[in-house]
Structure 1
Amino acid sequence: MTVSSDSPSDRFSDADRAAVYRAIAERRDMRHFNSEPIDDQTLQRLLQAAHQAPSVGLMQPWRLIRITDRTLRERIHELVERERQATATALGERSDEFLRLKVQGVLECGEVIVAALTDGRERHIFGRRTLPEMDLASVACAIQNLWLAARAEGLGMGWVSLFDPVELARLLDMPAGAKPIAILCLGHVHEFYRAPMLELEGWARVRPLQEFVFNNRWLET
């Protein structure tokens, strides 16, 4: 295999690079949607973007389940609401503060997609012999691709993780060994949050990059 040199032609134009960084910077975990549908061509572009994600050993462990049945969507909403209440109880003194947050848009968004790990992953040992969780990392890459592509299309996406994976797997007739890891709310929004919603709501703050980058050894700056 021939590896090309780092020539100027391999670099994106100034405008293209700016667009990539803008999508990254303006991506938001959206919770507020309108119910306007997403056209099929746009949806296919987004799903293709997810499918072009890198995966360890090229195992492509992601499975994307589009929820088109309204009754099924309502049952997924019930699972999320049940876990929302359980999470509030577990949070103790912050429970009331948590319950005031909008944590999902399952009933309002244009599309609901469940991202899951496929079954039979144990046979894939390339890249996973010592780090078996790389299958999860691969699906996360697919979700991030979808998220950034959605932002570039002017669509919002929210990653919902408040659910019992066993119950959701059963609801969606997943085979043994498969595991849902995300309920993705995708759709048109009135506006994007100017900052992460949890920061705007005072739940947490975004910490600066320098707190997360070390030199050579842990905590060495």
Structure 2
Amino acid sequence: MHSLNGKLFTAEEATVLHDIICNRRDVRGNRFLDRPVEDSVVQQLLDAAFHAPSVGFSQPWEFVLIKAPGIKQQVKESFMVENEKAAPVFETEKQATYTRLKLEGIMEAPLNIAVFYKPSPQPVLGQTSMDEAGLYSVVCAVQNLWLMARALNLGMGWVSILDAEKVKRILKAPENNKLVAYLCVGYTDGFYTQPELELLQWEKRKTRETTIFYESY
């Protein structure tokens, strides 16, 4: 029988984790510094991602690290096309704010990371009823990476205004792989005390009363 002597954490350590979670921010392009992210730091980020929970211990993630300006520019062009399509979707009072927002840092961030879901060719324990659990596992890896970035005082932004298939072609991704996240990572000039979109009153933080139910809806 395997030992149950895994590490236990102190209340102080739990408080640090709580602070990291509550102070995580989505960092935009106008916040990144022109400072490379050291290879050792990148490995810390990836190590955190590799230790994310995954359905059936499938670990269905793959990461593409991007520093080349030419590749970044191609991805940026996809963003610009999709961003232009997005503005008219929002109500009139939000359109002006939307056009002013800096929603990516593809060129400014020294490191871009494309995160892919790689489906298993074999049945996966725990994924036989909910196939999407594989995608959720990759999102857990992204969250781990994001929290480690914040703990290391690195900025990170998730760019979702992209044509996923076009990005796949740019990065020569395998046909079956699915782009889950395109991340901009780098040192920053600071962190807001609240999420930027909350400060701009784009949305309000939801309350527990409106989101937590007991036994059923």
TM-score, normalised to structure 2's length?
Answer: 0.92
Distance 1:62 1:35 in 2: 29
- The Cα offsets for residues 148-184 of structure 1, whole Å up to 9 and x where unpaired, read as 0011101111111110111111111111111112110
1:76 match: 75
2:139 match: 140
Computed over aligned residues only, the root mean square deviation of the Cα atoms, in angstroms, reads 1.7
Asked if 1:12 corresponds to 2:14, the answer is: no
1:33 deviates by 1.1
Distance 1:204 1:68 in 2: 33
Asked if 1:103 corresponds to 2:103, the answer is: yes
- The Cα offsets for residues 108-151 of structure 1, whole Å up to 9 and x where unpaired, read as 11210001111x43533321121110111100000000000011
- The Cα offsets for residues 61-107 of structure 1, whole Å up to 9 and x where unpaired, read as 11110012110011111111111111112225233321111111111
Q: How does 1:42-191 map to 2 (within 5 A)?
A: 42-93=41-92, 94-118=94-118, 120-121=119-120, 123-191=122-190
The percentage of aligned residue pairs carrying the same residue is 34
Distance 2:211 2:2 in 1: 36
Q: Work out whether residues 67 and 110 of structure 2, in 8 Å CA contact, stay in contact via their aligned partners in 1.
A: no
1:13 deviates by 2.1
Q: Work out whether residues 46 and 146 of structure 1, in 8 Å CA contact, stay in contact via their aligned partners in 2.
A: yes
The code of the aligned residue for 1:67 comes to I
1:211 deviates by 1.9
TM-score, normalised to structure 1's length?
Answer: 0.91
Q: Work out whether residues 57 and 124 of structure 1, in 8 Å CA contact, stay in contact via their aligned partners in 2.
A: no
The code of the aligned residue for 1:20 comes to L
3-state DSSP of counterpart to 1:108: coil
Distance 2:100 2:59 in 1: 38
1:212 match: 211
**Runs (4+) off by over 6 Å:** none
Distance 2:122 2:98 in 1: 41
Stretches of structure 1 lacking an aligned partner (at least 5 in a row): none
1:27 match: 24
The code of the aligned residue for 2:95 comes to S
3-state DSSP of counterpart to 2:106: coil
